[in-house]
């Protein structure tokens, strides 16, 4: 009887399997790719990272990372440990490691701002102890975008102690027993927060990683410039690589006027089934893409930025052109002043049907299934939250009588001195002034306030504090353009300044909006600081 | 009592000063990547320039008691090189990475009163093929006649995070870190001579001081700016943040803490006037500190940052150096700028220390 039960179970289980009768899923990484990847690891790494009987390589097989994380790892091996590797092998090794020991989409979701090289990011919600331990030198994302067990986190601590002589002596380290804390409770905590084995990763490896080729529609916003709508055509080139072609049209989000047209070609690769990394040359300028695909492979989000100025770029939403993806992706501008005819650009995919704005007259000036240009005139008195409808889809739109207040974004900006004969270029800071109405409750700063989009304002900078005034920061740190771009001054000591200090400054950025007899102002804080000398892919 | 001590110290140091009064005073500084300068400071002139072989960035400098040899810490804290100050010959070299499987950093060294031994605070990391293993720090004792491949003759474990060593007249080794330790260089036994991390100063927070600067050549007293907060004052009262001078008399081996101002500025180093009534501290500003009040008697803005301040043996001139390529000279009474020495070709002094010698 003891034997019968298991046999029965096996029979039942087999029956169950055949009832599902799904063909076994094709592995996301083919056997040939696995063999080629292992050979690369063996050829380039096994001189130091011994291969065990179970086929694992010491250290390497016990870590998971993003593509950038693996690439930084290889860079460190080259700089500090004399690894010599051909560029194509380095790329192939990153692909193999990111595909077989990567992070699932849900494991990177909270830290994409840093991965996407967004400027002005202040990481939120970081454990203060881990921030003091790790994020005083680099971003917290650099830690949170890795997976290791406690012993491997401890190895990482030992590496830090052996690589950076001052690590225990710096501020926020020297007042604690840094080494004991890092090897003890911190490694323990990291091992629990970010362990090697997770169900997210196991599930993602089992999921079907989609081919990205096809036709895509993109929308995005470039601060200080306007909004973009455009197409990306993707052709598969084998081994997770793609050829791309772009055609983008910009719209000034203040005037609604059509701006520049950006076109060009590029190449992309997909790591880990969803990490889209691209290069493109658009109107003779080199760009980079760091995007992530949704788990179903039909949508992507990320940043498109200039290769030489990662701070200068736009956040993109892209939809694959398939029947399921239909609707409005963006409206520019998304606010309509009552009584004033305004041109509005509606971008989306498979747009069809009637176009209307309740409370406003709409004239269609141009229409395709991805871009519609209308002229809208809201009737006087029809103010408040409204919506724009295209066929079965709709998106929010604000109708307003007057701008009640302004906000400057980002609230806290960073620029960096550069040039001046040095190797590091200036890093500018772009500000925008956004108008708001108080909303139905008539109060500023409540949830019902309505964002009216970017407004034309007059920009100026001033000293942020008495200490900044004493150092005349506003005089020396740089200037702001009519368009809200703060251009920092040159790098290096300035003999004209007190202490001969450089052109750093602590400034406030002031926007003034003149509307008839009223002038609204708003401020942001700008740290005009020094160069970053070390710019790794994950800061 | 304080006055009596000061007078006593003056008398004791007076004899030391007398012994050097007939000698000419020189300043020794380093600069990246491999230079060591002997400056005739009163003449405002670089007298000798030596090249340190296989060097990257000179930092700490220790002078033999006879004033003939400068032991220079270089190679990013990984070598101690002895340079003959007459000939420039390399007479000693300890490359701390001498063990094949170790990477070792030095965070301070000093020399015995008889010049026969160098005490070095070393932080080793064991290097495996595929990983590092941070090891416990140690005191390494080298014989100065150890040649060009000197190896330690004694090694003892020491606490982590020590950043400055100094040898008292008695030969006792003091090490500043989380606490100030007194170390027996024969047995390696150490004790807390002055608690910092767990100090018992009433109503004062844990202090912060990261001192690398030996400014005791012309006064026989170690001093460093030290920062802490008054825990008995309101959080929003900026006066609660305090600056003091922590001193160790290298003859009497007595410590003192002198609170002299709130914390309006960064200060990297300080030096006590040989008369022990005044001190000076520097970073972007140069302060003259009245130790009897005690308070900041005068403050001037400098034309750039300087890391170390030092003083002439006669107490008339205050020197500031480090960071770029000049040593600026100020009148010790009114802090008037009275001279400067520019190093040839403007090399980067970085974190080099200043030493004062007489010969």
Q: What's the average model confidence in pLDDT over B119-136?
A: 97
In whole angstroms, what is the distance from residue A87 CA to residue A74 CA? Answer: 11
Would you call A165 and B161 a contact, using CB atoms and an 8 Å cutoff? no
Distance from CA of B57 to the nearest CA of A (A): 14
Question: In this structure, is residue B4 part of a structural domain?
Answer: no
- Chains A–B, number of C-beta pairs less than 8 Å apart: 66
Q: Which residues of chain A have a CB within 8 Å of the CB of B304?
A: 493, 499-501
Distances (CA, A) of B65 to A79, A232, B68, B117: 42, 75, 8, 11
Distances (CA, A) of B343 to A119, A407, A499, B31: 41, 52, 20, 9
The shortest CB-CB distance from A169 to any of B129, B134, B163 is to: B163
Contact indicator for B112, B171 with CB cutoff of 8 Å: yes
B293 in reach of chain A (CB within 8 A): no
What percentage of chain B reaches a pLDDT higher than 90?
A: 91
What percentage of chain A reaches a pLDDT higher than 70?
A: 95
Closest by Cα among A206, A204, A150, A205 to A182: A150
Closest by Cα among B187, B137, B202 to B165: B137
For A492-503, letters b (16+ CB in 10 Å) and e give: bbbeebebbbbb
Please name the residues in contact with A279: beta carbons below 8 A apart, sequence gap of 6 or more: A266, A267, A268, A286, A287, A288, A289, A307
Structure tokens that stand for B209 in this block: 């001081």
In whole angstroms, what is the distance from residue A432 CA to residue A222 CA? Answer: 10
Q: What's the average model confidence in pLDDT over B37-54?
A: 97
Would you call A498 and B131 a contact, using CB atoms and an 8 Å cutoff? no
* A214-320 and A327-400 have identical folds: no
In whole angstroms, what is the distance from residue B32 CA to residue B323 CA? Answer: 10
Q: Name the CATH superfamily housing domain A214-320.
A: Quinohemoprotein amine dehydrogenase alpha subunit, domain 2 (2.40.128.120)
| pLDDT tens-digit series, residues A390-421 | 999 999 999 999 999 999 999 999 999 999 88
Neighbours of A483 (CB within 10 A): 14
**Domain-wise residue ranges, chain A:** 31-202, 214-320, 327-400, 405-529
| pLDDT tens-digit series, residues A78-88 | 999 999 999 99
What size, in residues, is chain B? 359
Phi, psi at A32, each rounded to 5°: -65, -40
Q: What's the average model confidence in pLDDT over A101-126?
A: 94
In whole angstroms, what is the distance from residue A47 CA to residue A210 CA? Answer: 36
| pLDDT tens-digit series, residues B156-206 | 999 999 999 999 999 999 999 999 999 999 999 999 999 998 888 899 999
Do β-strands A342-349 and A371-378 pair in parallel, antiparallel, or remain unpaired? antiparallel
The shortest CB-CB distance from A161 to any of B125, B163, B210 is to: B125
A190 three-class SS: helix
Structure ipTM: 0.91
Q: Which residue of A has its CA nearest to B301?
A: A499
A163 in reach of chain B (CB within 8 A): yes
- pLDDT in the model for residue A26: 72
In whole angstroms, what is the distance from residue B253 CA to residue B168 CA? Answer: 7
Q: What's the average model confidence in pLDDT over A183-206?
A: 98
Residue A494 has pLDDT above 60, yes or no: yes
| Cis bond upstream, residue A333 (ω within 30) | yes
In whole angstroms, what is the distance from residue A50 CA to residue A497 CA? Answer: 56
Do β-strands A355-356 and A384-390 pair in parallel, antiparallel, or remain unpaired? antiparallel
Residue A12 has pLDDT above 80, yes or no: no
- pLDDT in the model for residue B99: 85
Sign of CA dihedral A150, A155, A156, A160: positive
Q: Which residues pair with B118 in a beta bridge?
A: B111, B142
- At CA B290, angle to CA B6 and CA B271, rounded to 5? 75
Residue A259 has pLDDT above 90, yes or no: no
Q: Which residues of chain A have a CB within 8 Å of the CB of B104?
A: none
At B147, the pLDDT band (50, 70, 90 cuts) reads very high
Question: In this structure, is residue B122 part of a structural domain?
Answer: yes
List the beta strands (DSSP E) in A109-166. Answer: 146-147
Please name the residues in contact with A230: beta carbons below 8 A apart, sequence gap of 6 or more: A217, A218, A246, A247, A248, A249, A262
At A24, the pLDDT band (50, 70, 90 cuts) reads low
Q: How many CA atoms lie within 13 A of B8 on its CB side?
A: 9
For B35-64, letters b (16+ CB in 10 Å) and e give: bbbbbebbeeebeebbebeebbbbbbbbbb
Residue A253 has pLDDT above 90, yes or no: no
Residue B245 has pLDDT above 80, yes or no: yes
Would you call B129 and A499 a contact, using CB atoms and an 8 Å cutoff? no
CATH number of the domain enclosing B229: 2.130.10.10
- pLDDT in the model for residue B188: 97
Contact indicator for B353, B22 with CB cutoff of 8 Å: no
A164 in reach of chain B (CB within 8 A): no
Would you call A493 and B284 a contact, using CB atoms and an 8 Å cutoff? no
CA A38 centroid distance within chain: 31
| pLDDT tens-digit series, residues B282-309 | 999 999 999 999 999 999 999 999 999 9
In whole angstroms, what is the distance from residue B69 CA to residue B61 CA? Answer: 10
| Of A218-222, B22-26, B244-248, the least confident | B22-26
Distance from CA of A73 to the nearest CA of B (A): 13
Average pLDDT in chain B: 93
| Cis bond upstream, residue B75 (ω within 30) | no
Q: What's the average model confidence in pLDDT over A506-523?
A: 95
Give 3-state DSSP helix, strand, coil % of chain A, rounded to 5. 25, 40, 35
- pLDDT in the model for residue B169: 97
Would you call B132 and A168 a contact, using CB atoms and an 8 Å cutoff? no
**Interface list for A 199-228 with B (CB within 8 A):** none
| pLDDT tens-digit series, residues A131-166 | 999 999 999 999 999 999 999 999 999 999 999 999
**Interface list for A 474-503 with B (CB within 8 A):** 493, 495, 498-501
| pLDDT tens-digit series, residues A330-363 | 999 889 999 999 999 999 999 999 999 999 999 9
In whole angstroms, what is the distance from residue A224 CA to residue A432 CA? Answer: 6
A169 in reach of chain B (CB within 8 A): yes
Q: How many CA atoms lie within 13 A of A304 on its CB side?
A: 27
Distances (CA, A) of B200 to A172, A406, B117, B195, B197: 22, 53, 34, 8, 9
In whole angstroms, what is the distance from residue A402 CA to residue A455 CA? Answer: 12
Radius of gyration in angstroms for the set of CA atoms belonging to chain A, rounded to a whole number: 27
Q: What's the average model confidence in pLDDT over A502-507?
A: 98
- pLDDT in the model for residue A8: 41
Contact indicator for B325, B354 with CB cutoff of 8 Å: no
At A239, the pLDDT band (50, 70, 90 cuts) reads confident
Domain count, chain B: 1
In whole angstroms, what is the distance from residue A6 CA to residue A436 CA? Answer: 69
Please name the residues in contact with B92: beta carbons below 8 A apart, sequence gap of 6 or more: B69, B71, B80, B81, B82, B144, B146, B147, B148, B150
Distances (CA, A) of A232 to A280, A290, A354: 11, 14, 27
Q: Which residues of chain A have a CB within 8 Å of the CB of B76?
A: 165
Phi, psi at A519, each rounded to 5°: -125, 125
The DSSP letter of residue A9 is H
Q: What's the average model confidence in pLDDT over B112-132?
A: 97
Residue A1 has pLDDT above 50, yes or no: no
Distance from CA of A40 to the nearest CA of B (A): 17
- pLDDT in the model for residue B175: 98
Sign of CA dihedral A104, A106, A110, A115: positive
For B219-232, letters b (16+ CB in 10 Å) and e give: bbbbbbbbbbbbee
Residue A13 has pLDDT above 50, yes or no: no
Neighbours of A467 (CB within 10 A): 10
Closest by Cα among B225, B228, B232, B178 to B205: B228
Question: In this structure, is residue B8 part of a structural domain?
Answer: no
Q: Which residues of chain B have a CB within 8 Å of the CB of A81?
A: none
CATH of A327-400, one of 2.60.40.10, 3.90.1170.30, 2.40.50.140, 3.50.50.60: 2.60.40.10
Q: Which residues of chain A have a CB within 8 Å of the CB of B134?
A: 157-158, 161-162, 179
Structure tokens that stand for A172 in this block: 């926020």
Contact indicator for A315, A301 with CB cutoff of 8 Å: yes
Neighbours of A454 (CB within 10 A): 24
Structural class in CATH, domain A405-529 = mainly beta
Residue A253: left (phi > 0), alpha (psi -120 to 50), or beta? alpha
Residue B4 has pLDDT above 60, yes or no: no
User: Which residues span the domain enclosing B193?
Assistant: 21-358
Q: How many CA atoms lie within 13 A of B227 on its CB side?
A: 16
| pLDDT tens-digit series, residues A281-300 | 999 999 999 999 999 999 99
- Which residue shows structure tokens 């990763």? A201
The residue of A47, A60, A156, A174 whose CB has the most chain B CBs within 10 angstroms, and thus the best one to mutate to test that interface, is: A174
Radius of gyration in angstroms for the set of CA atoms belonging to chain B, rounded to a whole number: 20
B120 three-class SS: strand
At A25, the pLDDT band (50, 70, 90 cuts) reads low
- Which residue shows structure tokens 């087999």? A14
């Amino acid at each position: 009887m003891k034997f019968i039960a298991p046999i029965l179970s096996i029979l039942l289980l087999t029956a169950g399997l055949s009832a599902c009768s799904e063909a076994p899923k094709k592995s996301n990484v083919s056997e040939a790719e696995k063999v080629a990847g292992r050979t690369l690891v063996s050829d380039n790494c096994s001189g130091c990272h011994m291969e065990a009987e179970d086929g694992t390589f010491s250290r390497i097989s016990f870590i998971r990372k993003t593509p950038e994380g693996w690439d930084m790892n290889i860079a460190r091996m080259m700089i500090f440990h004399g690894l010599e590797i051909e560029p194509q092998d380095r790329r192939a090794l990153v692909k193999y490691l990111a595909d077989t020991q990567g992070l699932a989409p849900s494991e990177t979701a909270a830290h994409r701002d840093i991965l996407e090289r967004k400027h002005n990011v202040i990481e939120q919600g970081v454990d203060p102890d881990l921030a003091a331990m790790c994020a005083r030198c680099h971003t917290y994302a650099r830690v949170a975008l890795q997976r290791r067990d406690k012993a491997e986190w401890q190895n990482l601590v030992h590496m830090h102690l052996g690589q950076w002589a001052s690590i225990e002596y710096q501020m926020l380290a020297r007042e604690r027993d840094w080494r004991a804390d890092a090897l003890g409770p911190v490694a323990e905590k990291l091992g629990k927060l970010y362990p090697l084995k997770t169900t997210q990763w196991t599930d993602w490896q089992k999921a079907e990683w989609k081919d990205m080729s096809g036709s895509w529609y993109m929308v995005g916003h470039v601060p200080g410039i306007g909004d973009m709508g455009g197409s990306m055509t993707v052709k598969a080139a084998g081994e997770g690589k793609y050829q791309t072609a772009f055609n983008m049209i910009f719209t000034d989000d203040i005037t609604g006027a059509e701006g520049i047209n950006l076109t060009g070609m590029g190449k992309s690769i997909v790591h880990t089934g969803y990490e889209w990394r691209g290069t493109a040359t658009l109107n003779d300028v080199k760009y980079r893409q760091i995007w992530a695909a949704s788990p179903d492979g039909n949508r992507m989000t990320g940043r498109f930025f200039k290769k030489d100025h990662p701070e200068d770029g736009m956040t993109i939403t892209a939809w694959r052109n398939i029947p399921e993806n239909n609707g409005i992706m963006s409206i520019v501008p998304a606010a309509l002043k009552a009584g004033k005819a305004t041109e509005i650009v509606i971008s989306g995919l498979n747009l069809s049907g009637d176009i209307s704005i309740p409370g406003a007259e709409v004239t269609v000036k141009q229409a395709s299934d991805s871009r519609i240009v209308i002229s809208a005139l809201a009737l006087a008195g029809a103010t408040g939250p409204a919506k724009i409808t295209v066929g079965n889809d709709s998106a929010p739109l604000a109708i307003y009588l007057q701008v009640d207040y302004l906000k400057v974004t980002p609230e806290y900006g960073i620029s960096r001195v550069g040039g001046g004969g040095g190797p590091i270029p200036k890093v500018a800071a772009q500000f925008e002034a956004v108008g708001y109405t108080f909303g139905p409750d008539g109060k500023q700063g409540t949830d019902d306030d309505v964002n009216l989009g970017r407004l034309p304002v007059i920009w100026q900078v001033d000293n942020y504090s008495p200490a900044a005034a004493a150092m005349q920061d506003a005089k020396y740190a740089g200037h702001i353009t009519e368009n809200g771009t703060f251009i920092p001054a040159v790098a290096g000591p300035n003999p004209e300044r007190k202490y001969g200090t450089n052109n750093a400054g602590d400034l406030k950025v002031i926007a003034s909006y003149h509307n008839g007899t009223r002038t609204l102002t708003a401020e942001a804080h700008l740290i005009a600081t020094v160069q970053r000398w070390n710019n790794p892919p994950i800061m | 009592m304080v006055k009596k001590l000061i007078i006593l110290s003056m008398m004791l140091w007076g004899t030391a000063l007398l012994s050097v009064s007939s000698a000419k005073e020189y300043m020794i500084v380093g600069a990246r990547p491999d230079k060591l300068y002997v400056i005739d400071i009163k003449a405002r002139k670089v007298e000798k320039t030596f090249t340190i072989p296989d060097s990257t960035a000179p930092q700490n400098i220790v002078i033999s008691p006879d004033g003939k040899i400068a032991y220079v810490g270089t190679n990013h804290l990984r070598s101690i090189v002895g340079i003959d100050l007459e000939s420039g010959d390399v007479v000693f070299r300890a490359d701390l990475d001498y063990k094949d499987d170790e990477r070792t950093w030095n965070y301070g060294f000093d020399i015995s009163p008889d010049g026969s031994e160098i005490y070095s605070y070393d932080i080793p990391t064991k290097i495996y093929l595929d990983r590092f293993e941070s090891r416990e720090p140690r005191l390494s004792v080298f014989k100065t006649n150890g040649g060009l491949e000197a190896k330690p003759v004694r090694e003892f474990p020491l606490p982590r995070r020590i950043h400055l060593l100094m040898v008292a007249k008695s030969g006792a080794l003091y090490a500043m870190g989380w606490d100030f330790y007194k170390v027996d260089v024969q047995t390696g036994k150490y004790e807390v001579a002055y608690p910092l991390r767990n100090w018992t100063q009433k109503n004062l927070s844990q202090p912060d001081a990261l001192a690398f600067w030996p400014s005791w050549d012309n006064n026989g007293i170690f001093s460093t700016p030290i920062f802490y907060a008054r825990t008995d004052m309101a959080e929003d009262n900026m006066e609660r943040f305090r600056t003091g001078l922590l001193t160790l008399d290298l003859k009497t081996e007595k410590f003192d803490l002198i609170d002299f101002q709130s914390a309006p500025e960064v200060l990297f180093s300080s030096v006590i006037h040989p008369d022990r009534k005044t001190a000076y501290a520097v970073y972007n500003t140069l302060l003259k500190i009245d130790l009897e009040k005690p308070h900041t008697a005068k403050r001037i803005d400098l034309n750039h940052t300087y890391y170390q301040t030092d003083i002439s043996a006669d107490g008339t001139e205050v020197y500031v150096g480090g960071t770029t390529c000049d040593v600026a000279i100020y009148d010790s009474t009114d802090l008037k700028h009275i001279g400067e020495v520019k190093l040839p070709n403007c090399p980067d002094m970085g974190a080099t220390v200043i030493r004062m010698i007489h010969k």
